[in-house]
Structure 1
């Protein structure tokens, strides 16, 4: 069950991440994808640092915890952001959101395979419902996905690795606050994206940037990397892996809707059915079980 604070964090996270899919799609149509991601991170990192300062969260992390933070950055951020942003120019924003949010299914499978997690009947039903929603959403897209198999495969690999990262993050032991971990993981990812952008995209740079690109960078820097990434780490560490990963399943629904509204991406009947399955999955995993009914009968 979500507490009030977790519910507010999740609501804003869903809104910011969900609306970001068409925004990212617009951005990579205007500029080189790795460069877009790198500039967004360069803006987001000081925003995150300011949040730590205002909340009086220490920035220092013990040296012996650096290696663990770097490993988590690879599975939770670096792989996801690199593969997704490289694939996004070749698929629609709604399709990318669908593929990316196969993550909850992968997270549950990683937990069962690597950590021996025992899933309750409700959790299994929620995972099946979420998986069914993904299949429904992919149904109408399979023929078009065949035109960009590498892009689709890259996003699925990114989701697979993110699912592993979700399990690892939940089980990681740190002596510092989650915001501190988020800052240093974001810092490491920023370095990697900047190096990749310079190495592979410098000849493609065009200045000045368009107003669309600048707006997308600002949105991603402040709301995605300045807030949402840290918010996700908070949820991933305070909820169970199944609950945290399933809780974000509304994000692709919002991504699909906003992509249709802003970019004219076509919707089909499968979308409505998938929404119902996603809502069922969230309810099955997150809502508390009904208490056992008590009997008031008196025995003679």
Structure 2
């Protein structure tokens, strides 16, 4: 959560020097090398089982290619704190899917926790807080919301799939699927020139090795073993970290609306935690 939370202002800074599409491609490429070297060292680098082909394609397309690309594109138009918030509206889409598609049990306290967390999210979202007449800003907000929906579908797919191989063993193949989409898209798009610097290299390494290779693996593994609603609500800690780090590093304003929304999200998470302990 901390790795992803502080990464929002880091990406925002990086996008000053590199196009969002090539940023996504570089991030995925570094992650692929990192995971592949680790698996080679462990002697576990192998082709995926036929049974896992759907999850390789699904996660590769949705969670690695589409989600990563959309958040980069959205961040070019939206403040880092708000972007983190919009991208993590995932519970709004996961909750009904978990109940109707996965048939996960939903108790009263779990529903209350979800409702409290989502209320905090809606307060933080505050659609009156940006200019609807600015087409680029509206586009950025829409891209981030679409990213959240795509990730929600990926969470449901991960929970529903009958895994043969481990998450770690399948991750490099999922990243390769994403690169087959992102690299041609970046190559044939009119992109800005990259302004190389030591800062940009460090940002790309952080995103590739930690925010993608390590954090994405941990996220998929958690999704595999925990209820979809619990995972999606737990991930709400990421935008809280994003808002806090963006306020500190980028000087983005911290308002009463942000404080109230954050308090409700934490309250919803505590209800979820208490529910799990009582089971």
Normalised to the residue count of structure 1, the TM-score between the two structures is 0.86
Equivalent of 1:142, from 125, 128, 135?
Answer: 128
Say which of 164, 168, 188 aligns to 1:199. Answer: 188
Conserved? CA contact 2:62–2:150, under 8 Å: yes
Q: CA deviation at 1:217?
A: 0.6
| Aligned pair partner of 2:227 in 240, 246, 252 | 240
Structure 1, unpaired ranges of 5+ = 1-13, 293-300
In 2, Cα distance between equivalents of 1:27 and 1:70: 28
Inter-CA distance 126–164: structure 2 relative to 1 (3 Å threshold): same
Cα deviation 1:162-199 (Å, max 9, x = unaligned): 11110110111121111112221122112211111111
Aligned partners of 1:131, 1:64: CA distance in 2, in Å? Answer: 35
**2:108 aligned residue:** 121
Secondary structure (helix, strand or coil) at the match of 1:200 reads coil
What CA distance in whole angstroms lies between the structure 2 residues aligned with 1:104 and 1:49?
32
Tell which deviates more after alignment, 57-66 or 213-222.
57-66
Q: Give the conservation status (yes or no) of the 8 Å contact 2:36–2:45.
A: no
The CA distance in 2 between the partners of 1:255 and 1:216, in whole Å, is: 16
Matches within 5 A, 1:205-216: 205-206=193-194, 209-216=196-203
Supply the distance in 1 between the matched residues of 2:219 and 2:271 (Cα, whole angstroms): 20
What is aligned with 2:80? 93
Cross-structure match for 2:274: 287
**1:21 matches 2:8:** yes
Compute the displacement of 1:289 (Å): 5.7
Q: Are residue 65 (structure 1) and residue 52 (structure 2) matched?
A: yes
Which residue of 89, 97, 117 corresponds with 1:110?
97
Change (3 A) 1:57 1:85: same
User: Once the two structures are superposed, what CA deviation does each residue of 1:7-60 show, in whole Å capped at 9, x if it has no partner?
Assistant: xxxxxxx11100100001111121111011111111111111123234443432
When normalised by structure 2's length, the TM-score is 0.92
- Structure 1 counterpart SS, 2:44: coil
Aligned pair 1:267/2:254, yes or no? yes
Moved more, 223-232 or 186-195: 186-195
In structure 2, the partner of 1:5 is none
RMSD of aligned Cα (Å):
2.0
The match for 1:172 is 161
1:83 to 56, 70, 78: 70
Unaligned runs of 5+ in 2: none
Size of the aligned set, in residue pairs, is 276
Contact 1:21–1:259 (8 Å) recurs in 2: yes
Q: Distance in 2 between matches of 1:290 and 1:102?
A: 25
Q: Which residue of 204, 211, 216 corresponds with 1:217?
A: 204
8 Å Cα contact 2:51/2:164 also seen in 1: no
With over 3 angstroms needed to count, the CA separation of the structure-2 counterparts of 1:55 and 1:282, relative to structure 1, is farther
**Structure 1 counterpart of 2:40, from 41, 53, 68:** 53
Q: How many Å separate the matches in 1 of 2:124 and 2:209?
A: 30
CA distance in 2, matches of 1:70, 1:289: 32
Sort the Cα spacing of 1:117 and 1:226 in 2 relative to 1 into closer, same or farther, 3 A: closer
